[in-house]
């Protein structure tokens, strides 16, 4: 996992850039726009926070999970949560490069398997409390679950093949 510093200021910077292109034909000078950029940059530095992001080894782990037919959002979320003690939904979005709906869908899968625990923390001021998530079982146990699942699938496939062989003996098909 890598740390990434305040992606929030990048969003603010981008929004300011869009505003400046819209406002540039009006009475705001280029100098004033540059001043706004500088001010927003300084303010955002004061509000920096650190978010872990998936690195190359983590992305490889996600890809191996994908080879086991695990959906990308579930694989990314498992990998992300395995690398942090706990995380908010927003941190998961940023760190695993998932959109909010993808995080919600993956969270349903993790909840249904009882792999994740959620708790609420109050934010300063008004508004909804934030939910914080953490894995409740080890990565080894999750891997064991997928291993057992694939063994069952393999046994069922082999059983079907054997049944097909048995049924094919009873068919009187003659090649022409």
pLDDT-based confidence at residue 46 (cuts at 50, 70, 90): very low
Mean pLDDT of 44-56: 67
Per-residue pLDDT averaged across 92-98, rounded? 89
Instruction: Check pLDDT > 50 for residue 54.
Output: yes
> Hey, where are the domains in the chain?
1-48, 53-138
Instruction: Compute the distance between CA of residue 89 and CA of residue 80 in angstroms, rounded to an integer.
Output: 11
SS3 for 83? helix
SS3 breakdown of the chain: % helix, strand, coil, rounded to 5? 60, 10, 25
Stated pTM of the model: 0.67
- Parallel/antiparallel/unpaired status of strands 50-53 and 2-5: antiparallel
Higher pLDDT, 24 or 103: 103
What fold is seen in the domain 53-138?
Answer: Arc Repressor Mutant, subunit A (1.10.10)
Percent of the chain at pLDDT > 70 equals 69
């Amino acid at each position: 996992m890598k740390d990434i510093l305040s992606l929030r200021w990048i969003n603010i910077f981008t929004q300011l850039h869009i505003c400046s292109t819209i406002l540039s034909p009006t009475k705001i000078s280029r100098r004033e726009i540059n001043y706004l950029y500088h001010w927003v940059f300084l303010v955002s530095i004061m509000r920096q926070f650190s978010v872990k992001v998936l690195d190359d080894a983590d992305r490889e782990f996600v890809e191996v999970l994908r080879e086991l037919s695990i959906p990308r959002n579930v694989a990314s979320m498992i990998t992300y949560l395995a690398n942090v003690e706990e995380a908010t939904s927003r941190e998961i979005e940023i760190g695993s490069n998932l959109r909010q709906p993808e995080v919600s869908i993956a969270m349903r899968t993790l909840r249904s398997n009882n792999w994740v625990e959620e708790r609420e923390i109050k934010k300063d001021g008004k508004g909804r409390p934030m939910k914080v998530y953490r894995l409740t079982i080890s990565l080894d146990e999750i891997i064991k679950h997928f291993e057992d699942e694939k063994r069952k699938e393999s046994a069922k496939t082999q059983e079907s093949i054997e049944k097909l062989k048995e049924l094919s003996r009873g068919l009187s098909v003659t090649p022409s």
